[in-house]
Amino acid sequence: MVEPCPPGGGNRKGAVESSVRYVCGRWWRTMTATTPAQAQASLDVFCAGPADARPRRTAAGARTTVGELAAAEPLLALPAAPYPATVIVPRTVAANAAVAFRGNFYSVPPGLAGTAVQCRHRLGTATLQVVSAAGTALAAHHLEPDGAGVLVRDPGHRAELERVVLAAFTTSPPCQRKGNHPPGETARAEAARLLAGLGGEVTVDLARYAELAEAVAR
């Protein structure tokens, strides 16, 4: 995180402003580069030459230079393993009880379709964790190569999904189609009432439907 120096914080701004003032006064005013690459190369030469040759004193009072002090404080070697950061991405469970991550699909327990979850991958490991929005662990899978298009399904999730699917089957007969029956006495009476309210104008003639139904039945 970048934290800018607050206004008026001389103890924190002094070192930065002093270095900027030195570079502007000793290098920038005489710099003749015309491109950013040339300017960077010119600054590197300046820093390795006049800038590193500036005299300094150690805590014991011995004379030294900026370059010698920097050489005595080398950077540490890079770590052997990546920084243990965790990549967290939001996902929505699909209808097949799986979530997508880097070109593959990983299963979760059935019954979570449409639910918002999180996929968590700790750098340097080969494991993907799927947790709920509340942080409850739902599944853990071995990561497949990115973009392989593989569906990774836990054996327990597969068995539970099969149980849910098979439980949805039924041996009951299919629903009967609506029969084409002629209108009854109640329907005829309601039609007559509506016809009377319209002043005798026929809008829907149920008698015609009755004739057609009787013709089909014969």
Model confidence over 46-101: pLDDT tens digits?
A: 989 999 999 988 888 899 998 898 888 888 888 887 778 999 999 999 999 999 99
What's the pLDDT at 167? Answer: 87
For residue 167, give the amino acid letter. Answer: A
Res. 203 pLDDT band, cuts 50 70 90:
low
Res. 155 pLDDT band, cuts 50 70 90:
very high
Query: For residue 13, is pLDDT > 70?
Result: no
Mean pLDDT for the chain overall: 85
- Residues of the chain with pLDDT > 90, as a percent, come to 43
Give the residues across from 129 on adjacent strands: 120, 140
Whole-model pTM? 0.47
Mean pLDDT to the nearest integer, 187-194: 83
Give the residues across from 116 on adjacent strands: 92
Can you say whether residue 16 is alpha, beta or left, with left for phi > 0 and alpha for psi between -120 and 50 degrees? alpha
Helix (H, G, I), strand (E, B) or coil at 187: helix
Run of H or E residues at 100: strand 98-101
Higher pLDDT, 211 or 95: 95
State the DSSP code for 29: G
What's the pLDDT at 27? Answer: 92
Query: For residue 15, is pLDDT > 90?
Result: no
What's the pLDDT at 158? Answer: 93
- Residues of the chain with pLDDT > 70, as a percent, come to 87
What's the pLDDT at 5? Answer: 62
What's the pLDDT at 140? Answer: 96
Query: For residue 10, is pLDDT > 60?
Result: no
**101, 109 contact by CB (below 8 A):** no
